[in-house]
Amino acid sequence: MNGVVTQRHMGPFLPEITAHSNKQRRSTQYSRMKQKKGSLQTGSLSDSQILSKTEIALFRSSRKQNICVEMLQEGYHRSFSELFGLLSSDQDRRIAAEPGSAVRLQTPLDEQWDKLETMRLHLCQAEQAERIGSWSVVCEQRLVLGQYFSAPEDLWLSFHFYHSCVDRKQGGCSRPATEARACMAELYLQQGELEQARQQAEQCIKQAEDGGWIDSAGRPLRLLARQALWRIYSRLADASLDAKDYNEALKLLHKGYSTAAESEDKQIEGEASYRLGLTYQNAGHHDTAKQFFNTCIQIYGTLQDEDKLGRSYMDMAKSLESEGNIDETVQCLNKLADISRNNGLQNNLVDAYLYLGNIYYTMGQYERACEYFLQGYEVACDLEDVALLQKAQVLVASARAHSLIRKYSADVVSATPTAVRRLLAWKETRGRQEISTDSTDNTAAVWY
């Protein structure tokens, strides 16, 4: 007889509670109620179709109430308390918000059934895992919720679930919690809370290195955290640069550069090097700036990023010119022009031509300067950029005027018969000829 009793009780005493069975049961209940409602309207309700108290409650109560009641009935009291607290927080936020504000215009959380159902599902799964001490699963469920609430109006919920994941004593150093820290660092960075972002990124790097964790997409978390930390240091340096505090800015950018170099992302490393070069240039340390611009040129040349490669050559030329290395400056700008011309980077090509023209203009070589200004003007015409076109026109006119004045003054000073004839010829024709910016054939053509 004992054997018979044992055999009868081999299966579980109560059915296992799963998200799938819960959803299937609720779907069945709602469909049954719809059928019974139709039977009531037609007067054909049979004894087997009589509504139970539970089904009547599901039909008459709001979905929020049904979800909360279900959580209590299934024994998930902590999940119910947390969900109820979040609904109260949402109500308080809406009351405190200004009339007409974005918070007031949002649909109340208790009316968004899909979000309530998602929270119910993962909170209950987290509580179930907590009962058996599976802390990594607890954090995984909360990480999923933090990532689910990614819309701007739901960031407060995202922060709540991320914090409930990383601030736990048990599981706070697990893989999901480490990934949650990386996500929080990005969110704090977006919100401009840079110190909070830095703390989360640094802690994420430490935990990721100790555990060798990867994120849900298979990317090493230590690298993702380093990429975020570089952006954080860069933003922190912006405030120092605005205040012209170059020493503090350089200190932060050097930390960012070290972090970027360890991120195994050459684009970020190139950007970090460029920012350091630019900051040293603005601080007047051109020799050090050139070292970082050279690093940029090597990185972007390897990556075949012609736009950023041209930008690096342009800034390298500025440092070379500041040191008086005109020949090297011209070489640098000619490289920029070649790269821009070969890759169709018309804006960079205009900049290169105008910069070269300015160098020759400064040296008093006005005819050579005019050649480069004219090339820049022609490219600006193709771009149909009015502001750039006007700038090029002014530079062409200025270079030509200086060239003419020099020749005119030389003829006046020499006063030779040939010079006097040129002066007289110019005087007789200057009022009858039109000035053309598209050709060197103008009122001063007698001197060319």
**pLDDT tens per residue, range 290-340:** 999 999 999 999 999 999 999 999 999 999 999 999 999 999 999 999 999
Angle at 384 between CA 380 and CA 385, to 5 degrees: 70
pLDDT at residue 50 in the model = 57
Average pLDDT over residues 79-100: 93
Q: How far is CA 432 from the centre of its chain?
A: 59
Instruction: Indicate whether 444 pLDDT > 50.
Output: no
- State pLDDT tens for residues 205-260: 999 988 788 888 888 999 999 999 999 999 999 999 999 999 999 999 999 999 99
Give the confidence band of 408 by pLDDT, cuts at 50, 70, 90. low
Instruction: Indicate whether 158 pLDDT > 70.
Output: yes
pLDDT at residue 91 in the model = 93
Report DSSP letters for 402-438, one per residue: HHHHHHHHHHHHH--HHHHHHHHHHHHHTTTS---SS
pLDDT at residue 134 in the model = 95
pLDDT at residue 398 in the model = 87
Q: What is the DSSP letter of 18?
A: -
For the chain, the average pLDDT equals 83
**Higher confidence at residue 57 or residue 228?**
228
Helix axes 19-42, 113-131, angle to 10 degrees: 140
| Burial class (CB within 10 angstroms; exposed 0-12, middle 13-18, buried 19+) of 284 | exposed
> How many other C-beta atoms can be found within 10 angstroms of the C-beta atom of residue 386?
9
- What separation in angstroms does the CA of 164 have from each of 10, 155, 294? 39, 14, 46
Pick from 52-66, 88-102, 205-219, 255-269: least confident? 52-66
Average pLDDT over residues 113-120: 94
Instruction: Indicate whether 442 pLDDT > 80.
Output: no
- What separation in angstroms does the CA of 83 have from each of 79, 89, 116, 195, 242? 6, 10, 8, 30, 44
Instruction: Indicate whether 32 pLDDT > 60.
Output: no
**Higher confidence at residue 303 or residue 417?**
303
- What separation in angstroms does the CA of 107 have from each of 93, 113, 148, 349? 12, 11, 17, 52
Percentage with pLDDT > 70 across the chain: 77
Instruction: Indicate whether 126 pLDDT > 60.
Output: yes
Give the confidence band of 270 by pLDDT, cuts at 50, 70, 90. very high
Average pLDDT over residues 112-139: 95
The token pair that represents 402 in the structure block: 């200086």
To the question of pTM greater than 0.85 for the whole model, the response is no
Pick from 100-114, 214-228, 362-376, 434-448: least confident? 434-448
Instruction: Indicate whether 24 pLDDT > 60.
Output: no
* Residue 214 β-bridge partners: 220
Give the confidence band of 352 by pLDDT, cuts at 50, 70, 90. very high
- State pLDDT tens for residues 64-81: 888 888 899 899 999 999
**Higher confidence at residue 372 or residue 39?**
372
pLDDT at residue 411 in the model = 53
Distance in angstroms (rounded) separating the CA atoms of residues 239 and 120: 43
Nearest Cα residue to 172 out of 151, 142, 152, 146 = 142
Percentage with pLDDT > 90 across the chain: 61
Instruction: Indicate whether 14 pLDDT > 60.
Output: no
Give the confidence band of 410 by pLDDT, cuts at 50, 70, 90. low
Give the confidence band of 61 by pLDDT, cuts at 50, 70, 90. low
Report DSSP letters for 333-361, one per residue: HHHHHHHHHHTT-HHHHHHHHHHHHHHHH
The token pair that represents 140 in the structure block: 């995984």
Residue tagged 């950023």 (tokens):
308
Pick from 9-13, 63-67, 129-133: least confident? 9-13
Q: Which phi and psi (to 5°) does residue 20 adopt?
A: -65, -45
Rg of the chain over Cα atoms, rounded to whole angstroms, equals 37
Give the confidence band of 443 by pLDDT, cuts at 50, 70, 90. very low
Length of the chain: 448
Instruction: Indicate whether 39 pLDDT > 70.
Output: no
